[in-house]
Amino acid sequence: MTLFSDAFFDGLSSSTLEVGAAQTLPPACYTDAAFYDFEKAALFDREWLCVGRVDQVREPGDFFTTEIAGEPILVTRNRAGEIKAMSSVCQHRAMLVAEGKGNARGFVCPYHHWVYSLNGDLVNAPAMDRTCGFDKKTVKLPGFKVEIWLGFIFVNFDDTAPPLAPRLQNVEAAIANFDLEAAEALEPMTGQFAWNWKVMFENNNDGYHASKLHRGVLHDFIPSELASFPEAAPGDAGFLRYNGTLHPDASFNPTQKAVLPIFPKLSDEDRGRATFANIPPTLSLVMTSDMVIYLILRPTGPETMAQDTGVLVAPGARESYGFKERLEMIMTSAGQIIAQDMHVDELVQKGLRSRFAIRGRYSWQEGAQVQFNRWLAPRYQAQWARMQGQPAAPSTPVEAA
C-alpha cells in the first residue's frame, strides 16, 4: 500500500477499535523519513508541547533552552514575572542566541552581538544604520503561545490552537491529590536515544510487558493483570493508565515500599496503585505514592529522540532524614528497570525496519496503546485531509477538541 494515500490513512482507523479488535500502527509510522516530516506538520506544529517545569525559571531573567522536532526553543521569565517562550534563532543570520540555562538581562547573539530583551524584542543591532529600510522595532524573536498546567510549561507553535487545560479536566481530576504544582522538583536529566519517540511513549504505557520483562523483586508488586484503562473522552488531550499494586504505598526499590515521604493528600485509592498520566505528544508521568517521574519526549528524527527525565517529590521531602540515600535506592532500582526497557526499545526499532514487521494485535493489557492510537490517528487523518484540501471529518477527536 502506498504510504501517502487515502487507503493508508483510512486504514489507521483499525488501530482505534476496541482493544480486542484493534491493530497496531503500520511500521512505517515509526521508521519512514517522509512520514516523520508529515507527523511534524500533523502533531508538533499544532499540539501543546511540554518543554519543562516552572521551577526551571523561578526568577526574572532565568532561562533554559530546548529543542523539539528540530525547532530550538528559548524559555524565560521576564521582569514582570511572566513566562515567555520564543524561537532562539537570531533574526539576522540564524545563529542561536542562547544555549543551556542560566540567568540573563537579555540575550546577546554571540555571532554579531544583536541584543534581544527577555520578551524577545530586538534592542540593539550594531552597525545596521546603513541598511536600507531596517527598523529594529519591527524585529523580534518569534514568540509561541504558553500555557502552564500543574507546574508544567507547554508551548504551541500554532497561534490559533485551543487552550490545553479544558481538555485535560479528566486527567487533572484523576491526579489532583498529587498536587503537582506544590511538588518539589529535582534537576532533570537528558538522554539521546536511537528509536522513534512513539516507541518510547508506548513502552512507558505498556502494562502487558511488566510482569514478564521486569519479573523480580523490583517489580513483582505491580502485576500486569491489575492494569486498568479509564476511557478518554473524544476531544480529551490526555489519557490515563492505572496499575494496582499488591500493597499500599508500593515503590520501585528492594523494600517494595515507599521510602520517601508520601504525597500528603493521596487517597487510599491513590496509594493502592501506580498512575500513568499522558499528555501526548511530549509528556508522560509515572506516579507512585512517594515519587513522580516525568518524561518529556523530544523527537530529533524519524528514528531518534531526546528525553528529559525529571523527578517530583512531596513538599519538604528533600529535607527529610536520609533523603539522598533513600532517593539513590529508588533511582538505582529504577535504573535497572529502565535499562531493560531501553534494550527492548532499541530492538523494537530494529524490528520495525524489517520487511517482516506487520500490523500486530493487542492484549487486553495494552489498552493504553489504543488510547494513544485514538489520539494519534485522527490527527494524522486530519492532516492528510488538509493536504488534499478537504476539511477534517467533524466526528474526529481533533474536531471535537
Looking at beta carbons, which pairs linking 71-75 to residues 24 or more positions away fall under 8 Å? 71/44, 71/157, 72/96, 73/144, 73/155, 74/98, 74/107, 74/141, 75/51, 75/153, 75/155
Do residues 270 and 152 both lie within one domain? Answer: no
398 inside domain:
no
195 inside domain:
yes
393 inside domain:
no
Do residues 207 and 300 both lie within one domain? Answer: yes
> For residue 40, what is the DSSP state?
I
Q: How many CB atoms lie within 10 A of CB 82?
A: 12
Q: How confident is the model at residue 245 (pLDDT cuts 50, 70, 90)?
A: very high
Do residues 205 and 111 both lie within one domain? Answer: no
Residue 1, pLDDT score: 61
Do residues 34 and 56 both lie within one domain? Answer: no
Q: How confident is the model at residue 392 (pLDDT cuts 50, 70, 90)?
A: low
For range 111-135, the mean pLDDT: 97
CATH number (domain holding residue 360): 3.90.380.10
pLDDT digits 0-9 by tens, 293-340 = 999 999 999 999 999 999 999 999 999 999 999 999 999 998 999 999
395 inside domain:
no
Residue 234, pLDDT score: 87
Q: At residue 277, what is the residue type?
A: A
Residue showing cell 500555557: 147
Do residues 145 and 172 both lie within one domain? Answer: no
> For residue 320, what is the DSSP state?
S
Does the structure show a pLDDT above 80 at 218? no
Do residues 205 and 57 both lie within one domain? Answer: no
400 inside domain:
no
Looking at beta carbons, which pairs linking 125-132 to residues 24 or more positions away fall under 8 Å? 125/92
Residue 213, pLDDT score: 87
Number of domains in the chain: 2
* Three-class SS state of 75: strand
Do residues 187 and 242 both lie within one domain? Answer: yes
Residue 248 to residue 273: CA distance in whole angstroms: 7
Give 119: exposed, middle or buried? Use CB within 10 Å, 0-12, 13-18, 19+. Answer: middle
Residue 107 to residue 105: CA distance in whole angstroms: 7
Residue 401, pLDDT score: 34
Range of the domain at 104: 49-156
Residue 136 to residue 24: CA distance in whole angstroms: 52
Residues 6+ apart with CB under 8 A from 87: 71, 72, 73, 74, 141, 142, 143, 144
337 inside domain:
yes
pTM above threshold 0.75: yes
Residue 393, pLDDT score: 59
1 inside domain:
no
Residue 95, pLDDT score: 98
Do residues 173 and 320 both lie within one domain? Answer: yes
Do residues 85 and 193 both lie within one domain? Answer: no
Last residue of a domain, one of 156, 182, 215: 156
394 inside domain:
no
Do residues 110 and 219 both lie within one domain? Answer: no
What the block records as the C-alpha cell of 319 is: 529535607
Give bridge partners of residue 72 from the DSSP assignment. Answer: 67
Residue 269, pLDDT score: 97
Last residue of a domain, one of 122, 156, 190: 156
Do residues 143 and 74 both lie within one domain? Answer: yes
pLDDT digits 0-9 by tens, 17-54 = 999 999 999 999 999 999 999 999 999 999 999 999 99
Do residues 171 and 298 both lie within one domain? Answer: yes
Residue 123 to residue 137: CA distance in whole angstroms: 8
Does the structure show a pLDDT above 50 at 120? yes
Average pLDDT, the chain: 95
> Kind of pairing, strands 227-228 and 49-53?
unpaired
CATH number (domain holding residue 56): 2.102.10.10
Residue 350 to residue 110: CA distance in whole angstroms: 41
Does the structure show a pLDDT above 50 at 395? no
Residues 6+ apart with CB under 8 A from 348: 195, 199, 203
